Amino acid sequence: MRYDNSLDQRELVGLGAAFKDVIREHLVAIPLAEELEPAELDVLTGYVRVYQLPGNDLLFNEGDPAGYLGIVLRGRLRVSKRNLAGDARELYVMGPGKVFGEMAILDQEARSATLATLEPTQIAVLSRDNFYRICSERPVIGVKLLLKISRILSQRLRRISGQFVDKL
């Protein structure tokens, strides 16, 4: 498996417990963490890093290695995918509270879409390794996160299925 280097040259804004209050302030407002108790949220902050991304910048390409789940804290990201002819098509724009990389953190496959910033953007990142550590060290939190990720994926699949049927 190739290394995910999409964050190597990015500005690390905050890290774990030393940045706990700022990370917690952002996480408490997003759907991924809404079912966590305050103490569980505090534990999660120790596993999360926050990065600042410049505007109009490519974060990663479809097909790149994937090693983390990201949460948009501030700013906007454009999600695009190549069609059979190889042309990039915008799928949607995601803003604060939206999650990306949830498939990659579970299945260890390459990125399924291209992500680029539309403006200066801040993201919280949970690496695959830290996600597995949470599942091992704090299984109750791990199960809650896994169930929420499953719901997010299920909702997306239902939405796409509905869109697909409309095209038939």
Specify the DSSP class assigned to residue 111: P
Cα distances (Å, whole numbers) of residue 12 to 3, 8, 15, 29, 72: 18, 9, 8, 21, 14
Q: Write out residues in the chain with pLDDT < 70, as ranges.
A: 1, 14-19, 163-168
Size (the chain), residues: 168
**CA angle, corner 94, sides to 75 and 76, nearest 5?**
20
Decide yes or no: CATH 3.60.15.10 for domain 11-163: no
Backbone phi and psi for residue 102, each to the nearest 5 degrees, phi listed first = -70, -30
**CA angle, corner 10, sides to 41 and 16, nearest 5?**
25
Distance of CA 51 to the CA centre of its chain: 12
pTM: 0.84
Domain boundaries, the chain: 11-163
pLDDT score for 115: 96
Using CB atoms within 10 Å of the CB of residue 104, give its burial: 0 to 12 exposed, 13 to 18 middle, 19+ buried. Answer: buried
